[in-house]
Chain A
Amino acid sequence: MPEQANIAAPDGLHTFPRLLLNHARMRPQAPAMREKHLGIWQTWSWADVAERVRALACGLAELGFKRGDNLAIIGDNRPHLYMMMTAAQCLGGVPVPLYQDAVADEMLFVLQDAGVRFAIVEDQEQVDKLLEIKDRVGTLEHIVYDDPRGMRHYNQPFLHDVHELMAMGRIHDRNHPDFLAGEIEQGHFDDVSVMLYTSGTTGKPKGVCQTHAAFIAAAQGGIQVDRMTADGDILSYLPMAWVGDHLFSFAQALVCGFTINCPESADTVMNDLREIGPTYYFAPPRVFEGLLTQVMIRMEDAGKLKQRLFHHFMAVAKRCGGDILDGNSVGAGDRFQYWLGNLIIYGPLRNVLGMNRIRVAYTAGAAIGPELFSFYRSIGINLKQLYGQTETCAYVCLQPDGQVKADTVGAPAPGVEIKIADNGEVLVKGPMLLKGYYKRPDATAETINADGWFMTGDAGFIDDDGHLKIIDRAKDVGKLHNGSMFAPNYIENKLKFFQHIKEVVCFGHDREMVCAFINIDVGAVGNWAERRGIAYSGYTDLAGKPEVCELIRECVEKVNADLAHDSMVADSQIHRFLVLHKELDPDDDELTRTRKVRRNFVADKYAVLIDALYGGKATQFIETEVKFEDGRRGKVAADLKIVDAKTFPIVKRAA
């Protein structure tokens, strides 16, 4: 801790380039970045990174990159792409990371909006996308690529290999040795350090301008709460365009000085996780859920003895694991059992998950099931939740150690103020607030009110311990015909906690009852079907099996039974549902790139299904166009069965 305090504290370290240079000066040989290349982890020290950033920045300057220019960054998490962020910041430019899996047309808007002149991309695939739309992005002048594979026949003069750029930069640096220091000196903490585009759940994406000061404040707050140290490791595998990755893998790494590790490819993340064994880990709930599903599937295929051991010790962990992690008192018998379990089950399990060295793991972005949450905590992984959005550097609430609850997102982080508006909306104030939306003063004025409070758009309340609890998006909370509250997310999350259910969309606003669309989880349901000898050919076929509908109906009825106990939402029990014939997909605009459901879009697209649900029909034929990853289109058609679920009488809680 003292080391990190020394690094972050001295005056003048108020921009990211200065932080980088400081690390390079104070601890040049410490590892800054790792990347697996040809099967072997390669390490860059802080001195190496500083040297490369210097070369990249000078190279950019040589190409004509100027103060205030925007640099688009498109690709998987690669060291050179992270270095380019700092390189742009050295020159007073603004990195604009984009979601790498977006198709060219989706990138078009951001590139035009940001008036991008320079872009660094990962590989040929991304270069091709940019070439496809280059005509329509008049401002785009230069494209730098990281991976030269397949680029041999591209001879456009505006394409540059990243090594060529560095070579240019090193020559420039030799000729103008004081140039870069002068540029970095001009950098101010109130300059915009990065522009992150919101995923655009509603309407066009907006560029959120964040300053150096905001991200540094957010990073320092998090480091303070979790007492993070410079000897940590993080696996950087989430999209660089997402605020969380920018906070953890960029801002906190530069402030605290821990090592970021880039996986070999998107498919190898699980292996890389196991090899690196990060000390600091972030994943959205669906990743934790996916991991647990995998573990459970494999356990079901395991031998009887292993199964019995596993279930016995998981019961022990459920009983006392959380308390042991929180430092509460636990009886000697349980303590011994837990110790034994740790030896033969939890330890190896953590190892398989690649979570043996984890000091802090975070999840956010969606509600996490209480059972899922406590599973990880009970096997000794310090999983916590945080709350924040792009506009607040993903830094509003954090759960401090020892005060972790499954259904809240934690207490306000250091330096953050929270207030609940009269309509239930959560308002936030603090140093991490956005400077403004890019070229959208109107939108900025709409989200930050006259008193300087940022309106999150989330409905929530503060519980007795001072922890924030989020119910739903404020605008999604509706009313049923009888006037009782309808919080779709709340119900959907309850359903999504079942391993067989992947996605749910509930309807009920201004209606007499709640109905739902359900996506099954192909992995879990597929395995379930295989063990029962149910043959299927693909998602559509599997989803249409009567056995599967029955399985899902049981899940829905369990949720209904649960809802009946909660008087606030007891009327929101699901009366009818159907299993969709295709998975909701960002390529079809049904989900955002961060995989949140676009509720209204789905409602419009499948209006015929909604009519069938409320019209009392037993089946409904539907044909839907789907877009494949390469842009081609196809059609999926099915006769969907509509299933009635049992509902339960409302249980009045004894006062």
Chain B
Amino acid sequence: MSKKIGDVVLDLQNISLRFGGVKALTDISFDVREHEVRAIIGPNGAGKSSMLNVINGVYHPQDGKIFFHGQERKQMDPHLAAAQGISRTFQNIALFKGMSVLDNIMTGRTLKMKSNLLLQAIWWGPARNEEIAHRKKVEEIIDFLEIQHIRKTPVGRLPYGLQKRVDLGRALAMEPKILLLDEPMAGMNVEEKQDMCRFILDVNDQFGTTIVLIEHDMGVVMDISDRVVVLDYGKKIGDGLPDEVRSSPEVIKAYLGAGH
């Protein structure tokens, strides 16, 4: 299997992020290429989630530049990032617990809906046609993620592994160009992890989506990523192919402590 990894789509240069006196990220630079699976790893508190939040505009770094498709990004908000095709999932699932799987994924289409609120409310004319078209897209995602059997189940009643899958479904509903996954396998058993890996690789392969993921499970990271960035205490200590990173002395030190 060969896939074409394209040009740099996201280039982060010398990013530094501080919360008051706490330095979350210090002078970090790395890039993400089109169609690749890019992993960010590091011990707890290394700044991985902060990095993701910088990418989709939740945090604004004090220093550094972000280039998206070659253009420098100025003021950024999450909804602008979403409109540009960056979507994400969350470490602590942030779904609407009382709503069905179908409705949850449907919310991922909101940005794509054009018709006005009034027409949507009475479900008439263009709004109705639009919703049917969106529903079709959502059904394709449901089929893709093999969650047909829970289509109408309220998300709060689902086991954790399935909720994670719904979360991914909602992110996919935006048809993102870049998908940010914050610990997609945390708290899963082996079987659920395997399923999730398969879905991530399928998304990357079938839709050509660029994926940036944070993950703790080293086996998973090494298996599915094309390139890996390693953070430790807000600094970049490694960047490269999985094998290179695995054998880097600095990374080993960060993970296993000195003396090994």
A343 within 8 A of B: no
List residues of chain B with CB within 8 A of the CB of A267.
148-149
What separation, in Å, do the CA atoms of A212 and B143 have in the docked complex? Answer: 37
Q: Is the interface of A mostly helix, strand, loop or mixed?
A: loop
B194 and A38 form a contact (CB under 8 A):
no
A265 within 8 A of B: yes
CB contact between B149 and one of A38, A153, A271, A629 (< 8 Å): that residue? A271
B202 and A38 form a contact (CB under 8 A):
no
A152 and B205 form a contact (CB under 8 A):
yes
CB contact between A38 and one of B140, B152, B205 (< 8 Å): that residue? B140
B148 and A265 form a contact (CB under 8 A):
yes
Tell me the residues in window 244-301 of chain A with beta carbons closer than 8 Å to chain B beta carbons.
264-265, 267-268, 271
What separation, in Å, do the CA atoms of A513 and B140 have in the docked complex? Answer: 59
What separation, in Å, do the CA atoms of A379 and B111 have in the docked complex? Answer: 49
CB contact between A268 and one of B135, B148, B191 (< 8 Å): that residue? B148
A630 within 8 A of B: yes
Interface size of A as a range:
10 to 19
Tell me the residues in window 19-63 of chain A with beta carbons closer than 8 Å to chain B beta carbons.
36, 38-40
On whether A265 and B139 interact (CB within 8 A), knowing A39-B151, A150-B202, the answer reads no
List residues of chain B with CB within 8 A of the CB of A38.
136, 139-140, 142-143
Interface string of A129-160 (1 = CB under 8 A from B): 00000000000000000000110110000000
B151 and A152 form a contact (CB under 8 A):
no
CB contact between B206 and one of A36, A152, A264, A265 (< 8 Å): that residue? A152
Report the minimal beta-carbon distance from B188 to chain A, rounded to whole angstroms: 15
What separation, in Å, do the CA atoms of A267 and B144 have in the docked complex? Answer: 15
Report the minimal beta-carbon distance from B161 to chain A, rounded to whole angstroms: 14
List residues of chain A with CB within 8 A of the CB of B151.
39, 271
What separation, in Å, do the CA atoms of A153 and B204 have in the docked complex? Answer: 13
Interface string of B184-203 (1 = CB under 8 A from A): 00000001001000000010
List residues of chain A with CB within 8 A of the CB of B142.
38-39
List residues of chain B with CB within 8 A of the CB of A150.
202, 206
Measured CB to CB, the nearest residue on chain A to B2 is A153
Measured CB to CB, the nearest residue on chain A to B151 is A39
A268 and B149 form a contact (CB under 8 A):
yes
Report the minimal beta-carbon distance from B240 to chain A, rounded to whole angstroms: 26
List residues of chain A with CB within 8 A of the CB of B135.
39
Report the minimal beta-carbon distance from B152 to chain A, rounded to whole angstroms: 8
Q: What are 25 A-B pairs with beta-carbon distances under 8 A? A: A38-B136, A38-B139, A38-B140, A38-B142, A38-B143, A39-B139, A39-B148, A39-B151, A40-B139, A149-B144, A150-B202, A150-B206, A152-B205, A152-B206, A153-B205, A264-B149, A265-B146, A265-B148, A267-B149, A268-B149, A271-B149, A271-B151, A629-B191, A630-B191, A630-B194
Give A contacts to B, CB under 8 Å. Answer: 36, 38-40, 149-150, 152-153, 264-265, 267-268, 271, 628-630
Rank and list the top 4 A-B pairs by shortest CB-CB distance, nearest first: A267-B149, A38-B139, A268-B149, A39-B139
